[in-house]
Structure 1
Amino acid sequence: MRSIITISREFGSGGREIGKKLADDLGIPFYDKELLEMASKESGICQELFVKNDESYTNSFLFSLVMGNYPVSADGRINPDMPLNHKIFLAQFETIKNIAKKGPCVIVGRCADYVLKNEPNIIDFFISGNTAEKKKRILERYDIEKNKAEDFIRKTDKRRASYYNYYTDMKWGEAKNYDLCINSSKTGVDGAIKLMKAYIEIKEANADK
């Protein structure tokens, strides 16, 4: 096992649960909200600010960063006068890159597939789900009125899509941007994991040929 696995997911699709169980099965680290805490500690920026800006766009900084157009000082360091929200995105970007350097892992969301797109051992999954099943999962996990659940899901997915589309040159949820797209409503959590493990095995075997 040598792959770095990223999981993009629709809200309520079980993407986090699937990612955590996959990581446990494979015996590799798992990162979701944990990534924000790490970025906060490494950068010295308050963790609440990472949570506030989590998968919500405010500018095109991350795209500029990936494209190599971010502002630097004369000695090559990131400009200390950079706005705070830019620093937050940079810290998260660097944390994702540092995590990948440590070896196989599972990273959920936060444009990790795009940040790591040049890594040789990257495998990108997208998890979707049917509205009824997503609504049921959300109502079980969040204190929200039943008649507002569907709107909550729609707005959260819209926010995630806007974040991803704005900071990358790809479209969130578009099949060609991922190795494999899975509808967890049809496979179930365990079925999704089984498919992902099979794909990882196939891809790694083909890479060895």
Structure 2
Amino acid sequence: MSLNKKTLSFIKRMYPSVDKTVFKPFITVSREAGSGGRPIARLLAKELGFDFYDEHLVDLTAGKLKKRRELVASLDEQQQGIMQGIIALLTDTGLSKDKYIHGLCEVIVSLAQKGNCVILGRGANFITPFGEGLHVRVIAPFLTRVGYTASYEGYSKYEANQRVRHFDRERKEFIKRYFSKNPSNTNYYDLTINTAYFNIEQAVKVILKAYKRKFKKRK
């Protein structure tokens, strides 16, 4: 059985033991590199008084699996490169991709059950029950994202171009590897925001309206 089929099978097996009635509203944010997804997700969490989970998911998964952070990070959607992989190999006994994704799924489902959180990336919209959360995708045209990356992160246009391509590729490969999905498919989201037309504050306002609309009868 392929890795992505194993992942989907694990998620299906996990849910019979999960009481969906105890889920509190949560938000997942998927994003194209350089689109502003992270600052949008962070501000969204601040406006709602929610917890924000991004890189801390690596720490939580490492704790769940009782593995070193470097090893878990080497399998994350935002891999740090060859050196991190070497460090992971030298400092731990190893971690299979199966065990990594199972641990990540359990962490994300646990956070979603508690609710009142914004989860960035890691295929969280494919792991959590679609109807129990608001699932958002943040996009922008490629050249717009290159411009944002150069302006706000201090890279040259060439460096920004390479970074956007690199992180786009890593994130797409992560979703394909573990979930056999295309993250660009808008059917997987409640809302898609194009930041070529909305700044961060405007995007957050739109998402807040969608959140209140979807969960108007829930707290």
TM range, smaller chain? 0.7 to 0.9
Q: CA offsets per residue over residues 136-160 of structure 1, 9 Å max, x none?
A: 3322455644323213212311221
> Do structure 1's residue 96 and structure 2's residue 108 form an aligned pair?
yes
Corresponding residue number in structure 2 for 1:167: 178
**Deviation beyond 3 Å, 4+ runs, structure 1:** 140-145
The 8 Å contact of residues 78 and 167 in structure 2, kept in 1 or not, is answered as: no
> Do structure 1's residue 128 and structure 2's residue 150 form an aligned pair?
no
Sequence identity of aligned pairs in percent? 27
1:199 and 1:156 mapped to 2: Cα distance?
A: 28
- TM superposition score normalised by structure 2: 0.75
Letter in 1 for 2:184: G
> Is the partner of 1:187 in helix, strand or coil?
coil
> Is the partner of 2:108 in helix, strand or coil?
helix
Aligned length: 182
Corresponding residue number in structure 1 for 2:27: 5
Letter in 2 for 1:4: F
2:171 and 2:130 mapped to 1: Cα distance?
A: 23
- The two structures, once aligned, show a CA RMSD in angstroms of 2.3
Structure with higher helix content: 2
Which blocks of at least 5 consecutive residues in structure 2 are unaligned? 1-23, 80-93
Q: CA offsets per residue over residues 7-53 of structure 1, 9 Å max, x none?
A: 00000011010001000000111101011111112221111122211
Letter in 1 for 2:203: A
Alignment equivalent of 1:24, drawn from 32, 40, 46: 46
Offset of residue 99 of structure 1: 1.0
Corresponding residue number in structure 2 for 1:177: 188
The 8 Å contact of residues 29 and 105 in structure 1, kept in 2 or not, is answered as: yes
Offset of residue 180 of structure 1: 0.5
